[in-house]
Amino acid sequence: MSSAPNFATGRGDAIRDRSLTVTHEQLVSDAFGLRTHVPFGAAVALRGRRARTVAAAVLALEGWASRVDLLGPVEDTPEDADRVLVDDTLVSDQTTPASATVVSERPATETPTVWRLFTSGTTGAPKAIDHTLASLTRTVQRARGDAGMRRTWGLVYEPTRLAGMQVLLQSLSNGDLLLDAASDEPLPERLRWLAEQRVDSLSATPTLWRQVLQSADPASLPLRQITLGGEIADQLVLNALARTFPDARITHIFASTETGAAFAVNDGREGFPLSYLSEPPRGVHLEVRDGILFVEAPGTSAAGPDGFASTGDLVEVTDDRVIFLGRASGVVNVGGVKVAPEQVEAVLRAHPDVLDAVVRSRRNAFSGSILVADVVVTPDASREALSARLRAHVAAQLPSAHVPASVKVVPELSTSVTGKAGR
């Protein structure tokens, strides 16, 4: 039997998007009839972009399907899937959920269900990582203190990605309302709709949060809970969020597709406390091996024989803090010097003329690779000799190999399907 949270406790509206609202009672009762499409014990591939479809699959297929592959737009359909479900046909905008009557009764003995997610593929082909629902929900927080108040979560991630699943599972576990804004509309339009719907809890990558802060009226979002994940949350973005949303609780969650959600930090500082290495947060053990963070991740296919999985994140210990430096897979060899682009980005963002930055590598015949940077600047920034000034700013703080060969001003940064800076 599953050790995941009991999702049957929610009442009232569960998920709302621009075209349909689904209740907790309808989701629990398999009102979309997913179990009629999936034979007991079958492996199924779900290509779903709507949160309501993925939520329905979690509640209907856990303990029913042997495996559920959650596919985004770039993953190939696995050859060993018994069924392929597409949410446009299962749960269309015209679909009216049935009344809260169980469509297909569960058997007395449930089958163990593997939930297969895929990495974003930003540094290579997407990798399949197997989870249990228990491993996906191990850091889901039950409401405390304001337990009598339902939260209204905003979803800006694709629901089949780990970050989207975390928001969805958090909302389901507490009987909250989830506003599905993970559409193709421009971010300002999605933020406007979320504000109209009175969203009070929102999870996004630091890249997306910087775009929120640059939007016309970020304070129109009546936020009580701010969550960051998926990328390094530097002190600048944490401070800016605290200034803009003084009444909100700010949480930085560490999670990866390989490890699931591992731990959270709520003290407003970048990185995480050094004490986490000796005092496991919420019982999740952490280790630093050769400068890379490893997380105890039982129930995932990425874990080694000792139960630990590499996060692929480079870290360093500074005083009482463990600071993230960047992804090991993204390190660039510049003339024999290994450079993490994220370090250069952090220095560029610290310049008063820069709102955001992304650093990429480019092949070079002499040094192997060079760095190039795209930056979004403040409206009043002087463009005269800006590239030279920004390169000098980096050179004053980092070794010469870290200095971008060129700096280009762009109107906005491109983002991946997971909301991360596009490299």
In-domain check, residue 324: no
Regarding whether 351 and 300 lie in a shared domain, the answer is no
In-domain check, residue 325: no
SS3 track for 18-35: CCCEEEHHHHHCCCCCHH
Mean pLDDT of 325-344: 91
| CATH number of the domain encompassing residue 339 | 3.30.300.30
- Check if the beta carbon of residue 415 is closer than 8 Å to that of residue 422: yes
Regarding whether 312 and 340 lie in a shared domain, the answer is no
In-domain check, residue 310: yes
In-domain check, residue 417: no
- Check if the beta carbon of residue 387 is closer than 8 Å to that of residue 377: no
Last residue of one domain, picked from the residues 287, 318, 349: 318
pTM: 0.84
| CATH number of the domain encompassing residue 72 | 3.40.50.12780
Mean pLDDT of 79-93: 80
Amino acid at residue number 304:
G
Query: What domain range is 395 assigned to?
Result: 331-409
Name the token pair of 56.
């329905």
Regarding whether 312 and 338 lie in a shared domain, the answer is no
In-domain check, residue 289: yes
For residue 310, give every residue at least 6 positions away whose Cβ sits within 8 Å of its Cβ, in sequence order, or none.
258, 289, 292, 293, 294, 302
Neighbours of 378 (CB within 10 A): 12
Regarding whether 223 and 111 lie in a shared domain, the answer is yes
Regarding whether 391 and 307 lie in a shared domain, the answer is no
Last residue of one domain, picked from the residues 318, 343, 378: 318
Last residue of one domain, picked from the residues 295, 318, 341: 318
Regarding whether 304 and 212 lie in a shared domain, the answer is yes
Distance CA 318, CA 181 (A): 38
Q: What is the pLDDT of residue 134?
A: 84
Regarding whether 358 and 268 lie in a shared domain, the answer is no
Regarding whether 336 and 296 lie in a shared domain, the answer is no
Regarding whether 242 and 198 lie in a shared domain, the answer is yes
Sign of CA dihedral 61, 62, 64, 66: positive
Distance CA 310, CA 289 (A): 9
Task: Give residue-wise pLDDT tens across range 268-305.
Answer: 999 999 999 999 988 889 999 999 999 998 778 888 89
Regarding whether 285 and 312 lie in a shared domain, the answer is yes
In-domain check, residue 279: yes
Regarding whether 308 and 375 lie in a shared domain, the answer is no
Give the closest residue to 37 by CA, choosing from 114, 103, 135: 103
Regarding whether 340 and 312 lie in a shared domain, the answer is no
Task: Give residue-wise pLDDT tens across range 307-323.
Answer: 999 999 999 999 999 99
In-domain check, residue 422: no
Q: Any idea what DSSP says for residue 102?
A: -
Task: Give residue-wise pLDDT tens across range 138-152.
Answer: 767 665 445 557 899
